[in-house]
Amino acid sequence: MVDFVGVATQFATWYYKTLDGEDRSGLSVVYRGHSMMTFETSQFQGLEPIKEKLGSLPFSKLQHCIDTLDAHPSGESGSIIVLITGKLLIDGDEHPQRYSQCFHLIPDGGTYYVLNDIFRLIYG
């Protein structure tokens, strides 16, 4: 049986380390041509539009801090739904913004790819 919480935790740790780093293009390895991302109110489908969006984020410095991570197995295919909430520091601002992000991870040859990615800032 797959340790879906362990997989989700490893994925989230790698994802945010890569996103917070200097070369966000490394994230493109987890998306496919049929992947879909919602970033706030904008939707992007396919590897190139998602890669372009991630590469064009206007922030020079990001720092994600995960507060909660929930993972559930999804169906018999071995896919995993991951819901994350946390705090995000943007460009060294001392006041973190809260966010939530949901991933649908699909097994693929010993690893996983992101079928769906939904990101929202939490206002209020």
Whole-model pTM? 0.94
- Measured distance CA(113)–CA(89) in Å, rounded: 26
Q: Is the sign of the CA dihedral 28, 30, 36, 39 positive or negative?
A: negative
**What's the mean per-residue pLDDT of the chain?**
94
Count: domains in the chain: 1
CATH number at residue 84: 3.10.450.50
Q: Which residues contact 97 (CB under 8 A, 6 or more apart)?
A: 87, 88, 89, 90, 121, 122
Instruction: Give residue 70's domain range.
Output: 4-122
pLDDT one-digit tens code per residue, 14-64: 999 999 988 888 999 999 999 999 999 999 999 999 999 998 888 888 999
CB 112 within 8 A of CB 11: yes
